[in-house]
Structure 1
């Protein structure tokens, strides 16, 4: 396809850069219209990874990497590998970091060298309502470790994190087999297992502007369930794998079984300290849900 037929994001001058220590990596596919809405808000160098869109993405002021096939969440790995800054922020094509957030994130990373990942507060939609996951992180079930700028976490929303580039690459980034939906859990476990801190930093804020419809929620739930079980197979104790399997529907279970030989070959159980933290987080989430049903 010729470049003249490519999907164009905008022809405006790029926005001012607030830090040269962070690169923003955006993975997108067939959503040039959404990217056009969020691109003017980016305040750091941008790498767009075009996940084999039907029409190639063009975004003036950004480096665009076009992939030959859709890699899902793992497309971000390509952007991180290309970046040359010590820190990388992820954004989706329907999200952006608020002004000042990336400069603050870089300062926090420099001040807290044990931290490999910072996750921001996420505000949803034009009204800016708090994302439920941000509210759960603020409850701090794991407390705030020494040397961390905020509560410890073992999960995050991928559109709202800043990572140390070298550490992210060292643990392998996002696992391609998971493709999309729930891919964050495995990366969080691998970072924690390698001895790094993951912190919630509510002083950083991301705006997320998801479309009210357009994606199949049933398909998403099936993929999320499959990925939960695959992640358990890869990193959790056998009893946890069994419990997860019991709560996995037949379609998601069948999808997991297709990957079973691969998962068993790559199984590497997390250290006991990380497993205990995972149980504490699960217990806190379960308590919150029970209280919400009263």
Structure 2
């Protein structure tokens, strides 16, 4: 694995959870080199890692850059693949190897997203049925259901594809930031798949501002729609999303944040190809009915 994959972990002020995650990731039978991007933690996370996990490369960032920290970490990656891992997720034994094997075998594939089991019960993440039964049509060679969206902490990605599309958009910071990346990969001709046999455990952190995260999720979803979807689709999905969100100040703030960036959206708007839009249309019914996509935090 040292020649094929590097694991990139991002963290911010979650020292205990990070320590637990690194203990598990470094003990894997197929463990890979790890780069930790510390988003300006003030709880001694970076010091702890350097003391307890000398094999982990620590990238100390001056402030919380959100998902942009992954971009900076990938700049240091020399392997062909990178597996993203959050400080509250753990790839299970064999998962890194299986994902890398799939990417080796299919050069047109940009990402492999795994099956998420939520601790402590290890029930499947509620979003799993959307991935397992994805209606998106892919080529005959696809080694799993074809996706038009990924979950970063569950995904191994081909570094060449990641760099080709510019990685994560810094403005989005964190919260649904993967949607835009996935659409840009698809627009560039890359494919993404889900695999049942790539298993990741997720123990959702309690150290988070759920309402702010919801606000960012709504804002980033609106931005993605306005940046990449045809006008009619963007308007329809925007209405659907806002109808499903609580009518509170956080939703209002999300819309206001998104609207204030209208000049940036206009400058960077690039509608996806018709084939990608057809896949997005096929996904809409399951997305509208999904309880996992309710902005209720």
Q: Residues of 2 paired with 1:234 and 1:32: CA distance?
A: 36
Match of 1:27 in 2: 10
CA contact (8 A) 1:144 1:150 kept: no
Residue 198 (structure 2) aligned to one of 196, 201, 204: 204
Match of 1:271 in 2: 273
Number of matched pairs: 271
Q: Could you give the per-residue CA deviations for residues 106-165 of structure 1, whole angstroms, max 9, x where no partner exists?
A: 111111111000000011112211011222211121255322210001112110000001
Structure 1 unaligned segments of length 5 or more: list them: 1-17, 290-294
3-state DSSP of counterpart to 1:151: coil
CA contact (8 A) 2:14 2:207 kept: no
Match of 1:241 in 2: 234
Q: Residues of 1 paired with 2:103 and 2:235: CA distance?
A: 38
Q: Residues of 2 paired with 1:105 and 1:149: CA distance?
A: 11
Greater mean alpha carbon deviation, residues 256-265 or residues 53-62: 53-62
Greater mean alpha carbon deviation, residues 218-227 or residues 269-278: 218-227
Q: Structure 1 residues 41 and 138 mapped into 2: Cα distance closer, same or farther (>3 Å)?
A: same
Residue 122 (structure 2) aligned to one of 128, 131, 147: 128
Match of 2:113 in 1: 119
Q: Could you give the per-residue CA deviations for residues 58-115 of structure 1, whole angstroms, max 9, x where no partner exists?
A: 3221000011221111110111111110000000001111011111111111111110
Q: Residues of 1 paired with 2:94 and 2:286: CA distance?
A: 32
Match of 1:63 in 2: 57
1:134-283 matches, cutoff 5 A: 134-143=128-137, 145-211=139-205, 213-246=206-239, 247-248=241-242, 249-283=251-285
Structure 2 unaligned segments of length 5 or more: list them: 26-30, 243-250, 292-297
In the TM superposition, residue 241 of structure 1 has moved relative to its aligned partner by: 2.6
When normalised by structure 2's length, the TM-score is 0.87
Greater mean alpha carbon deviation, residues 232-241 or residues 92-101: 232-241
1:44-83 matches, cutoff 5 A: 44-54=32-42, 55=44, 57-58=46-47, 59=49, 60=53, 61-83=55-77
Match of 1:6 in 2: none
1:82-93 matches, cutoff 5 A: 82-93=76-87
Q: Residues of 2 paired with 1:283 and 1:78: CA distance?
A: 36
Q: Residues of 1 paired with 2:124 and 2:137: CA distance?
A: 21
Q: Structure 1 residues 126 and 20 mapped into 2: Cα distance closer, same or farther (>3 Å)?
A: farther
Q: Could you give the per-residue CA deviations for residues 183-232 of structure 1, whole angstroms, max 9, x where no partner exists?
A: 11101100000001100011101011113x34232222221111111111
- Which 4+ residue blocks in structure 1 deviate beyond 4 angstroms? none
3-state DSSP of counterpart to 2:222: helix
3-state DSSP of counterpart to 2:75: helix
Greater mean alpha carbon deviation, residues 218-227 or residues 22-31: 218-227
3-state DSSP of counterpart to 1:168: helix
